[in-house]
Every structure is written in C-alpha cells, then in structure tokens.
Amino acid sequence: MLQSETYLLVIGVPPEYEAAILEAIAQGGAGVVGDYTHCAFVWRGEGHFRPGPNARPAVGEVSTDNAIPEIRIETTVTHDRLKGAIAAIKAVHPYEEPVIYIVPIHDWRTVLES
C-alpha cells in the first residue's frame, strides 16, 4: 500500500494577500516540484461564511451571511516541511481562523515506482 510523503496544501485567502501567502509558502519550504520553487495554482472565486457572535472577522460582519472575493491557493509540500509551511502561512494570513486544508497525495512518480 502506498503511503503519502507529499501533501496538497489548500489555502483560502483574500486576493490582496495572494503575494504574501505565495511567498510564505515558498519560505516555509512548500511549492517545490523537482528543480522548481514557488509552484502553486491559484483559483479565483467567492468565500461564504457567517461569523458567530464572539468572532472577530478580518472582513465581513458578525452574525451575517457574508460573500467576499477570495482566492484558493493549492500547492504541494513534503511531510518534513509541512509544519514549517503551515507556520509560515499562519504568520501572514489575515483570518482569525485561517482556512488551510492538508490532503495526502501521491505523485505520479510514486505510483510508477511502487
């Protein structure tokens, strides 16, 4: 059975933080593919959320349905760099509750080698 040593990081962030998050990803050791660094894919869309009464949202209003422009950044990171990448992202992310998903993945090379 294949075990993942590589993860897909998925981060949701306001568009004005795109450059800061992309740089944090690289500084944290993520976004490396072979001899390439700063590798990521960026989707543009809309984030939806309703902050609870005790929340302190960076954008939007408490106890109200909010829809704001948002980007979704996807990149890869190896297991040994995962904690550093997350710490670097959290250091510049503007949200009270950053949206960071960590999904185990298998690179096509791993499949061919097994």
Q: Is residue 69 part of a domain?
A: yes
What pTM value is reported for the model?
0.86
Q: Is residue 40 part of a domain?
A: yes
Max mean pLDDT range (2-11, 88-97, 100-109) = 88-97
**Six token digits for residue 110:** 């791993």
Helix, strand, coil percentages in the chain from 3-state DSSP, rounded to 5:
30, 35, 35
Residue 53's Cβ-side half-sphere holds a number of Cα atoms within 13 Å equal to 0
Q: In the prediction, which pLDDT does 109 show?
A: 72
Q: Is residue 96 part of a domain?
A: yes
Bin 72: left if φ > 0, else alpha if -120 < ψ < 50, else beta: beta
Domain count, the chain: 1
* Inter-residue contact 108 to 6 (CB < 8 Å): no
* Residue 12 CB partners (closer than 8 Å, separation 6+): 47, 70, 71, 72, 73, 98, 99
CATH code for the domain in which residue 26 is found: 3.30.70.120
Give the domain range for residue 90: 6-113
Q: Is residue 1 part of a domain?
A: no
Average pLDDT in the chain: 93
Q: Is it the case that residue 36 has pLDDT exceeding 60?
A: yes
Higher pLDDT, 109 or 5: 5
Q: Is residue 106 part of a domain?
A: yes
